[in-house]
Amino acid sequence: MPFINVKVAGTLTRDQKEAIVAEMTDTMKRIAGKPESATYIVIDEVPRDSWAKGGALLE
C-alpha cells in the first residue's frame, strides 16, 4: 500500500489537487505496479509563512 504525502506552501484549488492525485496515482501504477485502489495520497497545505528557504521565511 503506497502512502504519498505532498506538502505545498500555500493553497491549491480542488482542480489542482485532483490533477496531482491523478498523476501520482498513475505514476505508482505505471512504474511500481501498484493498483489505484491501494494508493493513498495526502496533500498538506502549509501556510507560506511557515516555510523557510535559505534562512528566510517565504512571503
Provide the pLDDT for residue 8.
97
Provide the pLDDT for residue 59.
83
Provide the pLDDT for residue 46.
96
Q: Which three cell numbers stand for residue 44?
A: 498538506
Asked whether the beta carbons of 53 and 18 are under 8 A apart, the reply is no
Structural domains present in the chain = 3-57 (3.30.429.10)
The size of the chain, in residues, is 59
Asked whether the beta carbons of 1 and 36 are under 8 A apart, the reply is no
Provide the pLDDT for residue 3.
98
pTM reported for the whole predicted model: 0.86
Cβ atoms < 10 Å from Cβ of 15: 8
CA distances from 56 to 4, 7, 33, 40, 50 (A): 27, 18, 40, 32, 10
pLDDT per residue rounded down to tens, the chain (59 residues):
999 999 999 999 999 999 999 999 999 999 999 999 999 999 999 999 999 999 999 88
